[in-house]
A = this chain, B = another copy of it.
Amino acid sequence: MKFGVNYTPRVGWFHHWVDFDAAEVARDFDTIAELGVDHVRVFPLWPIFQPNATFVSPTALGHLETVIDLAAERDLQVAVDGLQGHLSSFDFLPAWLATWHRRNMFTDPDVIAATSMFLETLARVAGAHENVFALTVGNEVNQFSGGVHPDPFPATPTQTDAWLDATLGALRRGAPDLQIMHACYDASWYENTQPFTLEQVARRGDVTVTHSWVFNGTAQRFGPDAFETRAHARYLIEVARAFQTDPQRPIWAQELGAPRNVLPSSSIRPFIDETIGQLADAPDLTGITWWCSHDVSRALGEYPPLEYDLGLIDENGAIKDEGRWVAEAVAVARDTTPRTDRPVLELRYDELGGRSALAPEGSFFADYMELARTAGHPRIDLVRDPNSSVW
Protein backbone atom coordinates (compact mmCIF):
# COMPACT_ATOMS: atom_id res chain seq x y z
CA MET A 1 0.00 0.00 0.00
CA LYS A 2 1.30 3.39 -0.99
CA PHE A 3 1.29 6.24 1.49
CA GLY A 4 1.67 9.82 0.43
CA VAL A 5 0.57 13.36 0.82
CA ASN A 6 -1.17 15.87 -1.36
CA TYR A 7 1.54 18.49 -1.79
CA THR A 8 0.51 22.01 -0.78
CA PRO A 9 3.64 24.17 -1.13
CA ARG A 10 4.51 25.86 2.13
CA VAL A 11 5.45 29.22 0.61
CA GLY A 12 2.82 30.71 -1.70
CA TRP A 13 0.58 27.64 -1.82
CA PHE A 14 -0.14 26.67 -5.47
CA HIS A 15 0.73 30.20 -6.53
CA HIS A 16 4.30 28.95 -6.31
CA TRP A 17 3.96 27.95 -9.98
CA VAL A 18 4.56 31.63 -10.75
CA ASP A 19 6.78 32.48 -7.78
CA PHE A 20 8.66 29.27 -8.24
CA ASP A 21 11.53 28.54 -5.86
CA ALA A 22 13.13 25.14 -6.30
CA ALA A 23 14.96 25.49 -2.99
CA GLU A 24 11.64 25.85 -1.17
CA VAL A 25 10.22 22.79 -2.93
CA ALA A 26 13.35 20.85 -1.99
CA ARG A 27 12.93 21.90 1.65
CA ASP A 28 9.24 20.93 1.55
CA PHE A 29 10.10 17.51 0.12
CA ASP A 30 12.81 16.98 2.73
CA THR A 31 10.22 17.44 5.43
CA ILE A 32 7.65 15.36 3.60
CA ALA A 33 10.18 12.55 3.28
CA GLU A 34 10.62 12.61 7.07
CA LEU A 35 6.97 11.57 7.32
CA GLY A 36 7.91 8.26 5.74
CA VAL A 37 5.81 8.78 2.65
CA ASP A 38 6.57 7.24 -0.72
CA HIS A 39 4.75 9.70 -2.99
CA VAL A 40 3.31 13.17 -3.44
CA ARG A 41 0.34 14.26 -5.50
CA VAL A 42 0.97 17.60 -7.25
CA PHE A 43 -1.38 20.15 -8.72
CA PRO A 44 -0.74 22.38 -11.71
CA LEU A 45 -2.97 25.45 -11.88
CA TRP A 46 -4.86 25.32 -15.14
CA PRO A 47 -4.77 29.07 -16.01
CA ILE A 48 -1.01 29.13 -15.41
CA PHE A 49 -0.27 25.99 -17.38
CA GLN A 50 -2.70 26.65 -20.25
CA PRO A 51 -3.32 30.41 -20.39
CA ASN A 52 -4.52 30.22 -23.98
CA ALA A 53 -6.48 27.39 -25.58
CA THR A 54 -3.60 26.65 -27.96
CA PHE A 55 -0.69 27.32 -25.62
CA VAL A 56 0.81 25.33 -22.76
CA SER A 57 3.37 27.31 -20.78
CA PRO A 58 6.89 25.91 -21.18
CA THR A 59 7.90 27.75 -18.02
CA ALA A 60 5.17 26.10 -15.96
CA LEU A 61 5.94 22.70 -17.47
CA GLY A 62 9.59 23.27 -16.63
CA HIS A 63 8.69 24.03 -13.03
CA LEU A 64 6.64 20.83 -12.91
CA GLU A 65 9.61 18.85 -14.18
CA THR A 66 11.79 20.43 -11.50
CA VAL A 67 9.24 19.43 -8.85
CA ILE A 68 9.25 15.87 -10.19
CA ASP A 69 13.05 15.72 -10.21
CA LEU A 70 13.30 17.11 -6.69
CA ALA A 71 10.88 14.38 -5.61
CA ALA A 72 12.97 11.74 -7.36
CA GLU A 73 16.07 12.89 -5.51
CA ARG A 74 14.23 11.98 -2.31
CA ASP A 75 12.87 8.67 -3.62
CA LEU A 76 9.39 10.11 -3.83
CA GLN A 77 7.05 9.02 -6.56
CA VAL A 78 4.72 11.63 -8.05
CA ALA A 79 1.08 11.68 -9.11
CA VAL A 80 0.12 14.64 -11.30
CA ASP A 81 -3.37 16.10 -11.57
CA GLY A 82 -4.23 18.03 -14.70
CA LEU A 83 -7.20 20.38 -14.43
CA GLN A 84 -7.13 22.59 -11.33
CA GLY A 85 -9.71 23.59 -11.52
CA HIS A 86 -10.94 23.40 -7.95
CA LEU A 87 -8.65 23.62 -4.94
CA SER A 88 -9.60 24.49 -1.36
CA SER A 89 -12.65 26.53 -2.31
CA PHE A 90 -10.94 28.43 -5.13
CA ASP A 91 -11.82 27.75 -8.77
CA PHE A 92 -9.02 28.39 -11.23
CA LEU A 93 -10.45 28.61 -14.71
CA PRO A 94 -8.55 30.02 -17.67
CA ALA A 95 -9.78 33.28 -19.23
CA TRP A 96 -10.62 31.36 -22.39
CA LEU A 97 -13.44 29.68 -20.46
CA ALA A 98 -14.76 32.79 -18.68
CA THR A 99 -17.21 35.61 -19.38
CA TRP A 100 -16.96 36.50 -23.10
CA HIS A 101 -15.31 33.17 -23.81
CA ARG A 102 -17.51 31.13 -21.53
CA ARG A 103 -18.37 27.76 -23.00
CA ASN A 104 -19.31 24.55 -21.32
CA MET A 105 -16.10 22.83 -20.25
CA PHE A 106 -17.71 19.41 -20.45
CA THR A 107 -19.63 19.67 -23.72
CA ASP A 108 -18.15 22.32 -26.02
CA PRO A 109 -16.12 20.53 -28.72
CA ASP A 110 -13.49 23.27 -29.00
CA VAL A 111 -13.01 23.37 -25.24
CA ILE A 112 -12.74 19.58 -25.08
CA ALA A 113 -10.14 19.66 -27.87
CA ALA A 114 -8.12 22.35 -26.12
CA THR A 115 -8.38 20.60 -22.76
CA SER A 116 -7.27 17.33 -24.32
CA MET A 117 -4.29 19.02 -25.94
CA PHE A 118 -3.20 20.30 -22.54
CA LEU A 119 -3.68 16.96 -20.82
CA GLU A 120 -1.78 15.07 -23.52
CA THR A 121 1.08 17.57 -23.30
CA LEU A 122 1.14 17.38 -19.52
CA ALA A 123 1.08 13.58 -19.60
CA ARG A 124 3.92 13.42 -22.12
CA VAL A 125 6.11 15.79 -20.13
CA ALA A 126 5.36 14.28 -16.72
CA GLY A 127 5.31 10.72 -18.00
CA ALA A 128 8.87 11.01 -19.26
CA HIS A 129 10.01 10.93 -15.62
CA GLU A 130 10.41 7.50 -14.11
CA ASN A 131 9.11 8.48 -10.70
CA VAL A 132 5.74 9.66 -12.03
CA PHE A 133 3.28 6.82 -11.49
CA ALA A 134 -0.19 8.29 -11.93
CA LEU A 135 -2.06 10.97 -13.83
CA THR A 136 -5.47 12.25 -12.82
CA VAL A 137 -7.63 14.28 -15.22
CA GLY A 138 -8.11 16.88 -12.53
CA ASN A 139 -8.93 17.39 -8.90
CA GLU A 140 -12.64 16.85 -8.30
CA VAL A 141 -13.69 17.89 -11.78
CA ASN A 142 -17.29 17.22 -10.81
CA GLN A 143 -17.10 20.38 -8.67
CA PHE A 144 -17.89 22.20 -11.92
CA SER A 145 -20.67 19.98 -13.20
CA GLY A 146 -23.57 20.99 -11.01
CA GLY A 147 -24.79 20.39 -7.51
CA VAL A 148 -24.10 23.35 -5.27
CA HIS A 149 -21.69 25.15 -7.63
CA PRO A 150 -22.74 28.79 -8.10
CA ASP A 151 -22.01 28.80 -11.83
CA PRO A 152 -21.83 25.24 -13.12
CA PHE A 153 -21.31 23.81 -16.58
CA PRO A 154 -24.31 21.51 -16.87
CA ALA A 155 -23.87 18.13 -18.49
CA THR A 156 -25.63 14.80 -18.73
CA PRO A 157 -23.98 11.49 -17.78
CA THR A 158 -23.74 10.72 -21.49
CA GLN A 159 -21.85 13.97 -21.98
CA THR A 160 -19.56 13.46 -19.00
CA ASP A 161 -18.87 9.98 -20.33
CA ALA A 162 -17.80 11.45 -23.67
CA TRP A 163 -15.72 14.02 -21.81
CA LEU A 164 -14.00 11.22 -19.89
CA ASP A 165 -13.34 9.43 -23.18
CA ALA A 166 -11.59 12.55 -24.44
CA THR A 167 -9.66 13.50 -21.31
CA LEU A 168 -8.63 9.99 -20.25
CA GLY A 169 -7.76 9.30 -23.88
CA ALA A 170 -5.53 12.36 -23.92
CA LEU A 171 -3.68 11.22 -20.80
CA ARG A 172 -3.29 7.74 -22.31
CA ARG A 173 -1.85 9.09 -25.54
CA GLY A 174 0.58 11.26 -23.63
CA ALA A 175 1.68 8.55 -21.21
CA PRO A 176 0.64 5.10 -22.43
CA ASP A 177 2.32 3.24 -19.58
CA LEU A 178 1.06 5.19 -16.59
CA GLN A 179 -1.98 4.68 -14.44
CA ILE A 180 -4.59 7.21 -15.54
CA MET A 181 -7.72 8.10 -13.72
CA HIS A 182 -10.23 10.80 -12.89
CA ALA A 183 -11.34 12.09 -9.51
CA CYS A 184 -14.68 13.23 -8.16
CA TYR A 185 -15.71 14.44 -4.76
CA ASP A 186 -18.39 12.45 -3.06
CA ALA A 187 -21.35 14.24 -4.60
CA SER A 188 -20.94 11.61 -7.30
CA TRP A 189 -21.68 9.04 -4.60
CA TYR A 190 -24.49 10.81 -2.83
CA GLU A 191 -26.47 13.08 -5.15
CA ASN A 192 -28.94 11.61 -7.59
CA THR A 193 -28.58 14.45 -10.06
CA GLN A 194 -24.79 14.54 -10.30
CA PRO A 195 -23.85 14.10 -13.96
CA PHE A 196 -20.62 12.36 -12.99
CA THR A 197 -21.93 8.99 -11.86
CA LEU A 198 -20.74 6.38 -9.44
CA GLU A 199 -20.33 3.99 -12.37
CA GLN A 200 -17.96 6.43 -13.97
CA VAL A 201 -16.02 6.81 -10.74
CA ALA A 202 -15.84 3.04 -10.31
CA ARG A 203 -15.17 1.99 -13.88
CA ARG A 204 -13.50 4.72 -15.96
CA GLY A 205 -9.73 4.93 -16.09
CA ASP A 206 -7.34 2.45 -14.50
CA VAL A 207 -7.93 3.19 -10.84
CA THR A 208 -10.95 4.09 -8.73
CA VAL A 209 -10.32 7.18 -6.66
CA THR A 210 -12.02 8.24 -3.44
CA HIS A 211 -11.95 11.60 -1.66
CA SER A 212 -13.29 11.41 1.86
CA TRP A 213 -14.26 14.57 3.67
CA VAL A 214 -16.35 14.12 6.78
CA PHE A 215 -17.53 17.73 6.67
CA ASN A 216 -19.93 16.37 4.04
CA GLY A 217 -22.58 15.98 6.70
CA THR A 218 -21.23 12.83 8.33
CA ALA A 219 -19.44 14.47 11.23
CA GLN A 220 -22.21 17.02 11.64
CA ARG A 221 -24.89 14.33 11.75
CA PHE A 222 -23.16 11.69 13.85
CA GLY A 223 -20.62 13.70 15.80
CA PRO A 224 -16.86 13.99 15.64
CA ASP A 225 -16.19 10.82 17.59
CA ALA A 226 -18.85 8.63 16.06
CA PHE A 227 -18.10 5.32 14.43
CA GLU A 228 -19.66 6.64 11.23
CA THR A 229 -17.29 9.58 11.06
CA ARG A 230 -14.19 7.44 11.37
CA ALA A 231 -15.63 4.76 9.08
CA HIS A 232 -16.55 7.15 6.29
CA ALA A 233 -13.34 6.83 4.26
CA ARG A 234 -13.60 3.05 4.37
CA TYR A 235 -17.28 3.19 3.46
CA LEU A 236 -16.44 5.04 0.25
CA ILE A 237 -13.97 2.31 -0.64
CA GLU A 238 -16.62 -0.36 -0.22
CA VAL A 239 -19.24 1.58 -2.14
CA ALA A 240 -16.77 2.24 -4.94
CA ARG A 241 -15.86 -1.43 -5.07
CA ALA A 242 -19.48 -2.43 -5.28
CA PHE A 243 -19.86 -0.48 -8.49
CA GLN A 244 -16.75 -1.93 -10.10
CA THR A 245 -17.01 -4.63 -12.69
CA ASP A 246 -13.41 -5.80 -12.22
CA PRO A 247 -13.00 -7.13 -8.67
CA GLN A 248 -9.21 -6.70 -8.88
CA ARG A 249 -9.34 -3.10 -9.97
CA PRO A 250 -7.15 -0.83 -7.82
CA ILE A 251 -8.80 1.63 -5.42
CA TRP A 252 -6.91 4.63 -4.12
CA ALA A 253 -7.92 6.76 -1.14
CA GLN A 254 -6.46 9.75 -2.96
CA GLU A 255 -7.68 12.45 -0.60
CA LEU A 256 -8.67 12.37 3.01
CA GLY A 257 -8.05 14.72 5.87
CA ALA A 258 -9.01 15.73 9.38
CA PRO A 259 -11.02 18.94 9.03
CA ARG A 260 -11.08 21.09 12.14
CA ASN A 261 -14.42 22.64 11.35
CA VAL A 262 -16.09 19.39 12.43
CA LEU A 263 -13.36 17.71 14.50
CA PRO A 264 -12.24 19.27 17.79
CA SER A 265 -8.60 18.84 18.79
CA SER A 266 -9.33 15.93 21.07
CA SER A 267 -10.94 14.01 18.21
CA ILE A 268 -8.11 14.35 15.73
CA ARG A 269 -5.85 11.54 16.83
CA PRO A 270 -8.53 8.87 17.20
CA PHE A 271 -10.02 10.03 13.91
CA ILE A 272 -6.66 9.56 12.20
CA ASP A 273 -5.92 6.22 13.85
CA GLU A 274 -9.30 4.66 13.22
CA THR A 275 -9.80 6.10 9.75
CA ILE A 276 -6.44 4.77 8.57
CA GLY A 277 -6.88 1.52 10.48
CA GLN A 278 -10.18 0.82 8.83
CA LEU A 279 -8.80 1.74 5.41
CA ALA A 280 -5.92 -0.66 5.91
CA ASP A 281 -8.41 -3.44 6.52
CA ALA A 282 -9.90 -2.92 3.04
CA PRO A 283 -8.82 -5.68 0.66
CA ASP A 284 -6.62 -4.44 -2.16
CA LEU A 285 -6.54 -0.78 -1.22
CA THR A 286 -3.56 0.46 -3.20
CA GLY A 287 -2.84 3.75 -1.54
CA ILE A 288 -3.64 6.42 1.01
CA THR A 289 -2.75 10.04 0.24
CA TRP A 290 -3.38 12.47 3.05
CA TRP A 291 -4.61 16.03 2.47
CA CYS A 292 -2.31 17.77 2.90
CA SER A 293 1.40 18.24 3.34
CA HIS A 294 1.61 21.83 4.59
CA ASP A 295 -0.74 24.20 6.35
CA VAL A 296 -1.84 27.17 4.27
CA SER A 297 0.02 30.24 5.44
CA ARG A 298 -2.10 32.54 7.56
CA ALA A 299 -0.62 35.34 5.47
CA LEU A 300 -2.77 34.18 2.55
CA GLY A 301 -6.31 35.43 2.80
CA GLU A 302 -9.87 34.30 2.27
CA TYR A 303 -9.66 30.53 2.58
CA PRO A 304 -12.43 28.84 4.55
CA PRO A 305 -11.00 28.58 8.08
CA LEU A 306 -10.72 24.80 7.98
CA GLU A 307 -8.30 24.96 5.03
CA TYR A 308 -5.54 26.56 7.09
CA ASP A 309 -5.09 23.61 9.45
CA LEU A 310 -5.20 20.53 7.25
CA GLY A 311 -1.43 20.14 6.91
CA LEU A 312 0.78 17.49 8.48
CA ILE A 313 3.49 20.16 8.52
CA ASP A 314 2.95 23.66 9.83
CA GLU A 315 3.44 26.88 7.92
CA ASN A 316 6.94 27.21 9.37
CA GLY A 317 7.97 23.80 8.10
CA ALA A 318 7.75 21.84 11.37
CA ILE A 319 6.05 18.47 11.43
CA LYS A 320 2.83 18.71 13.45
CA ASP A 321 1.38 16.17 15.83
CA GLU A 322 -0.99 15.27 13.02
CA GLY A 323 1.99 14.41 10.85
CA ARG A 324 3.41 12.04 13.43
CA TRP A 325 0.02 10.49 14.10
CA VAL A 326 -0.70 9.86 10.44
CA ALA A 327 2.78 8.41 9.90
CA GLU A 328 2.38 6.11 12.89
CA ALA A 329 -1.08 5.02 11.84
CA VAL A 330 0.20 4.21 8.37
CA ALA A 331 3.11 2.24 9.80
CA VAL A 332 0.62 0.15 11.77
CA ALA A 333 -1.62 -0.12 8.73
CA ARG A 334 1.18 -1.52 6.60
CA ASP A 335 1.34 -4.51 8.91
CA THR A 336 -2.39 -5.08 8.81
CA THR A 337 -3.78 -8.11 7.05
CA PRO A 338 -7.27 -7.39 5.84
CA ARG A 339 -10.00 -9.67 7.07
CA THR A 340 -11.21 -12.05 4.43
CA ASP A 341 -14.29 -13.39 6.22
CA ARG A 342 -16.69 -10.56 6.25
CA PRO A 343 -20.38 -9.97 6.03
CA VAL A 344 -22.15 -9.14 2.79
CA LEU A 345 -24.71 -6.39 2.45
CA GLU A 346 -27.05 -6.13 -0.51
CA LEU A 347 -27.46 -2.73 -2.07
CA ARG A 348 -30.82 -2.74 -3.84
CA TYR A 349 -29.90 0.42 -5.64
CA ASP A 350 -32.88 1.01 -7.89
CA GLU A 351 -35.41 0.24 -5.19
CA LEU A 352 -33.67 2.61 -2.80
CA GLY A 353 -33.91 5.39 -5.34
CA GLY A 354 -30.26 5.70 -6.29
CA ARG A 355 -27.37 7.59 -4.80
CA SER A 356 -29.27 9.56 -2.17
CA ALA A 357 -29.69 6.33 -0.18
CA LEU A 358 -25.91 6.13 0.08
CA ALA A 359 -25.50 9.62 1.53
CA PRO A 360 -24.83 10.17 5.24
CA GLU A 361 -28.53 10.79 5.79
CA GLY A 362 -29.58 7.86 3.59
CA SER A 363 -31.03 4.52 4.56
CA PHE A 364 -28.26 2.43 3.03
CA PHE A 365 -25.61 4.43 4.85
CA ALA A 366 -27.42 3.68 8.11
CA ASP A 367 -27.73 -0.04 7.34
CA TYR A 368 -24.12 -0.28 6.30
CA MET A 369 -22.83 1.45 9.39
CA GLU A 370 -24.95 -0.68 11.70
CA LEU A 371 -23.54 -3.84 10.17
CA ALA A 372 -19.98 -2.48 10.02
CA ARG A 373 -20.08 -1.50 13.66
CA THR A 374 -21.28 -4.87 14.83
CA ALA A 375 -19.75 -7.34 12.38
CA GLY A 376 -17.03 -5.45 10.55
CA HIS A 377 -17.10 -3.67 7.22
CA PRO A 378 -19.19 -5.69 4.82
CA ARG A 379 -18.65 -6.37 1.18
CA ILE A 380 -21.46 -4.64 -0.71
CA ASP A 381 -23.33 -6.67 -3.25
CA LEU A 382 -24.85 -4.34 -5.82
CA VAL A 383 -28.27 -5.39 -7.07
CA ARG A 384 -29.21 -3.41 -10.08
CA ASP A 385 -31.47 -3.62 -13.09
CA PRO A 386 -29.20 -2.83 -16.04
CA ASN A 387 -32.14 -1.13 -17.73
CA SER A 388 -32.99 1.02 -14.76
CA SER A 389 -33.34 4.73 -15.32
CA VAL A 390 -31.92 5.37 -11.86
CA TRP A 391 -28.32 6.59 -12.11
Nearest-neighbor residue (CB-CB) of A300 within chain B: B52
Binds B, one of A34-42, A93-101, A220-228: A93-101
Structural contact, B96 and A91, CB atoms closer than 8 A: no
Of A99, A110, A151, most buried by chain B (CB within 10 Å of CB) is: A99
A51 near B15 (CB under 8 angstroms)? yes
Report the minimal beta-carbon distance from A19 to chain B, rounded to whole angstroms. Answer: 4
Q: How far is the CA of A48 from the CA of B94 in the complex (A)?
A: 12
A61 to chain B, nearest CB (A): 10
Count of interface residues, chain A, beta-carbon cutoff 8 Å: 38
| B residues near A47, Cβ cutoff 8 Å | 47
Known: A18-B59, A51-B18. A99 touches B91 (CB 8 A): yes
Contacts A92-B95, A101-B90 given; indicate if A57 touches B302 (C-beta within 8 A).
no
Q: Which residues of B contact A15 (CB under 8 A)?
A: 51-52, 55, 57
* A12 in the interface (beta carbon within 8 A): yes
Check A54 against B301 for contact (C-beta < 8 Å): yes
Q: 10 A-B residue contacts at CB 8 Å?
A: A12-B55, A18-B48, A18-B57, A19-B60, A48-B48, A55-B299, A89-B100, A99-B149, A99-B151, A102-B150
Residue-wise, chain A 196-216 has the 8 Å CB interface mask toward B (1 for contact) of 000000000000000000000
Cross-interface CB contact of A91 among B54, B100, B299, cutoff 8 Å: B100
